[in-house]
Structure 1
């Protein structure tokens, strides 16, 4: 092929690529959720999918690719064609997986393009209805007296409730018996039924049970009290003695590594528009969530945040000695 033909071919390919990018998206986008339908991440993803539909002008299809603490769905996106049509919504587990799993088929954040943080979600320490403790002070005394006999449930290795439970035990300088479940629903069912004692669960899941007086409430994990009516009088854990205790379960949006820059820019712009949607904000606030409005909406800042969280949680997980194969 002559130099002239090569030049013409390059121009044709570049023109075709530019046209394809200019038309993005021209078909539905798949939003992978690495957890079961009905859980907090799934609820957040479905609300986001609806809000993204408007600025992108396309249907967003939610795909629940569950298993192994969110790593199966994450791996699916890491291996996907980097064209912007397969995205991932993941929570804090994105940053903790490298420490929890000795054998991980992808690298965090190297195998992903960070698109921006979505929200932050505080958790609530809740207990079975038959617990004699009626305040955090009483709960702390009860835990001190019972030690490892205390059962603390979670939704599985790497789940938000698992990570919050680790931090809670670390702050109390105690070791409880951790009881992992295959999801939030069965863990909550056993907590309500009294088969386990405690759980540190996201407000989005805990609030309905608190409203129904099915569980006892001892404290929220954010530095400020939550404005939700049922929790407005519930103190923060920092207020009641666990100084500076702050565990926020954040969610972020990701694309496969190598997704073209113009597509990433389009997706980031759509995310910003979605997070400014009054309807989305209303839904998030009703669940006790705070929509991110700071510089972590910037892809580079989002990446730095994930790196910092990865380092933070690596120490907590190492100290607890909790790993998966």
Structure 2
């Protein structure tokens, strides 16, 4: 190759890179230029749905585009999460993930259709919340200790779940207290709640977002919270450790935002900034924090990635303690 040809080749390559960088910068400045689709892998009315819609409303103000919520429940959240893992990584499809989809899945299922660490780009942690252990008002128990005594020797009791946190929290409780109950799986938390209210299941453990309205309305009987500390929203309700005399019981639900892997870094930064701005608004803090007892804690993408790794180990241990076999 002659010196003249070599110089022309280098010049063309440099110009091409410059044009590419300029196009990328222009694209980043224009993102988003149409509505964003946020897939919620659980049913409408679930805690994940509530978190998604509350953040979406506030993020839209920063992004200048609406975030359209699409509920895709099924398979403990795996269907919706898989749809995002396989979506085009352009920033217009995001996942409102949870401990079920982005931490517990490998500990509970043999055939998870995605890799939590490789198929998603973490955007930001959103919030966490404890769960409430509750029974129907018709059940002749008023405390968790009374329930443990009531369950002794019985084989006709059942518990409901519609997510990993709901199931594992109850399985852990049973393993640590000796209770025996048959698991009844529901496609959605609201459906499980309806059967709890009607007395068709003995026990349901669900996050404050789902449970608090029923507790405040007196339609179910709360027995304990699953965190190590009492909740400010129900300060008179003891923790499981306090109520059952266990030691070290804790299981809380959490929510995070993810995009498909390989999404441009500019998109990650833009969405992360929108999450942080939303989390700082009084409207969001009132709706999720004050009203539903959630801890709002936006993070960097790197912090969420690290949390996914640590939480996966935690949930694997919880499933082991609960004696849950993979399905």
Note whether the superposition's TM-score is higher than 0.5.
Answer: yes
Larger Rg: 2
Aligned equivalents of 1:206, 1:268: Cα separation in 2: 29
Superposed, 1:55-74 pairs within 5 Å as 55-74=62-81
- Aligned match of 1:316: 318
Aligned equivalents of 2:41, 2:187: Cα separation in 1: 13
Aligned equivalents of 2:18, 2:218: Cα separation in 1: 67
1:315, distance to aligned residue in structure 2 (A): 3.1
Aligned equivalents of 2:39, 2:113: Cα separation in 1: 17
- Aligned match of 2:151: 143
Secondary structure in 2 matching 1:50: helix
User: Greater shift after overlay, 171-180 or 197-206?
Assistant: 171-180
Q: Deviations over 1:202-261 (max 9, x none)?
A: 111112222222211110111222222xx2211111222122322110000101111111
1:302, distance to aligned residue in structure 2 (A): 1.2
- Aligned match of 1:7: 14
Normalised to the residue count of structure 1, the TM-score between the two structures is: 0.91
Aligned equivalents of 2:175, 2:287: Cα separation in 1: 33
Aligned residue pair count: 316
Cα distance 1:299–1:173, how it changes in 2: closer, same or farther (>3 A)? farther
Q: Which runs of 4+ in 1 moved over 6 A?
A: none
Normalised to the residue count of structure 2, the TM-score between the two structures is: 0.91
* 1:200 maps onto 2:205 in alignment: yes
Q: Are 2:98 and 2:255, in contact at CA under 8 Å, matched by a contact in 1? A: yes
- Aligned match of 2:5: none
* 1:77 maps onto 2:81 in alignment: no
Q: Are 1:166 and 1:316, in contact at CA under 8 Å, matched by a contact in 2? A: no
Q: Deviations over 1:112-155 (max 9, x none)?
A: 11112111111111001121111222122112342x43211112
Aligned equivalents of 1:110, 1:142: Cα separation in 2: 46
- After superposition, the CA RMSD in angstroms is 1.8
Aligned equivalents of 1:183, 1:38: Cα separation in 2: 9
* 1:119 maps onto 2:127 in alignment: yes
User: Greater shift after overlay, 203-212 or 311-320?
Assistant: 311-320
Q: Deviations over 1:48-71 (max 9, x none)?
A: 100111221211111112221111
Aligned equivalents of 2:81, 2:182: Cα separation in 1: 29
